[in-house]
Structure 1
């Protein structure tokens, strides 16, 4: 097993072990695996993992910073980071990892999860030695189990009615066709399509389209495009409507994201 060299120098997590890095733009991690389960946490932007799974084959798992990416022990993967950022790797011991999903997935950072991790990060905790830190780590693991998970940030579907809708939105994120209008085009009803979105993708039509737009916006912001232009090209009538979507998805504004990018590159 081609374990990461860093793994060889780390003690076994008890129950977790944290590692911190400041990543530069266009950082690439070559294919590797870990002896223990790993939570990947970034400060902003997008992280992309190329996974090789025995059950699923190869797939790309990408997520913005409000999600943690969970990779079980032994799963071979490589990673790409497009912008400078703070990165935290949380290794999880075997006993605790057994309670988390058996396949790589996304775990939403709830406010409590974010606060617990941020406290560890601010204090630079690595190995868990203090009894209070152990209690905090145990609470963190408990909340990770309760937070639920998603197989993909932008799930796909081959459903005969959904597939053409998803393909059209991926190709043209600015398309403002309503769900009722799509229902007419695919010979269904709005209510039926809404049920298909929830059952097949785990979210609403509007939520899925917003995620497509967010991923495109992150790319354009990194390229230096103006917020007003991005809003218009993503189908928003005003820049404020786009900013509201961005804030809802990531918890901060496009301009703050751009400032963080600039600070990370300076």
Structure 2
């Protein structure tokens, strides 16, 4: 663990040792940093206020864009990577106070709840159960418990062939090779590669790549990149093809999705 990672971990441990039902802190990252696999005795919610963070949890990678949050239940092994100039809000919740899902997931966070989380993080976290801050914490828990989940997880695999394919798709998301072309590059038949991806990820190659593209697209759109530019970035031959993919995964157009995130 690097010195930077150690300092970040030390700060998180301080908040975890506090007895309050909910504690929060704002973290601004000036450089990309990663915390290796670890667990927390409390539930952890990570909200991306600016930029984004990725987490590996339970065999999946979660790419959390701005205005969304990843929920990690207590004692679940995970690793986090915050990217350069990300601004994050961490919420830690005592197990006895949990009203959240019992599995890792990404949650949509409304503007109201985002403001409440950020305001809560500015308050004195050493509050008593008779304080107004404690009452605010209970309101926050009630609101978070009904936030809808979002499909921002990408199944990972420890299989070297699928890992190699995933790495290439991550590093060059505009790559449009067909499954047959990938199979030839990886020295196997198309049928063998198709079966392997399905076995390791639970998805067909097309759905798996679309899921990755959707996650990256939401990141770029929340970063103010235009639909046209996102389409080009992901290698689509037309904007309409990109919109069709996006609607197929999220059920609505990129424009409508982004509008709803700010309502």
Q: TM-score range by the shorter chain?
A: 0.5 to 0.7
Aligned twin of 2:14? 9
Alpha-carbon deviation of 1:119? 1.9
Aligned twin of 2:259? 248
Aligned twin of 2:84? 83
Q: Matched residues in 2 for 1:50 and 1:140: separation?
A: 26
Q: Matched residues in 2 for 1:138 and 1:26: separation?
A: 33
Contact 1:37 / 1:94 at 8 angstroms: preserved in 2? yes
Structure 1 unaligned spans of 5+: 157-169, 175-200, 253-266
Deviations 1:138-174 (A, max 9, x none): 0110111122434x41578xxxxxxxxxxxxx97799
Q: Matched residues in 2 for 1:173 and 1:113: separation?
A: 38
Alpha-carbon deviation of 1:236? 2.6
Aligned twin of 1:32? 38
Q: 1:211 to 1:7 in 2, by over 3 A?
A: closer
Q: 1:15 to 1:87 in 2, by over 3 A?
A: same
Aligned twin of 2:216? 215
Q: Matched residues in 2 for 1:59 and 1:154: separation?
A: 6
TM-score, normalised to structure 1's length? 0.58
Q: Matched residues in 2 for 1:61 and 1:226: separation?
A: 23
Q: Matched residues in 1 for 2:111 and 2:133: separation?
A: 18
Alpha-carbon deviation of 1:126? 2.9
Contact 1:17 / 1:128 at 8 angstroms: preserved in 2? no
Structure 2 unaligned spans of 5+: 1-8, 156-169, 177-202, 241-252
Q: 1:106 to 1:229 in 2, by over 3 A?
A: closer
Written as runs of structure 1 = structure 2, the 5 A alignment for 1:1-266 is 5-6=10-11, 8-10=13-15, 11-51=17-57, 53=58, 58-97=59-98, 99-121=99-121, 123-129=122-128, 131-150=131-150, 152-154=151-153, 212-213=213-214, 215-216=216-217, 218=219, 229-232=229-232, 234=236, 235-236=238-239, 244=255, 247-248=258-259, 251=262
Contact 2:48 / 2:64 at 8 angstroms: preserved in 1? no
Contact 1:39 / 1:69 at 8 angstroms: preserved in 2? yes
Q: RMSD of the TM alignment (CA)?
A: 4.3
- What is the aligned residue count? 198
Alpha-carbon deviation of 1:70? 0.9
Contact 1:100 / 1:145 at 8 angstroms: preserved in 2? yes
Q: Matched residues in 2 for 1:148 and 1:246: separation?
A: 14
TM-score, normalised to structure 2's length? 0.58
Q: 1:105 to 1:212 in 2, by over 3 A?
A: same
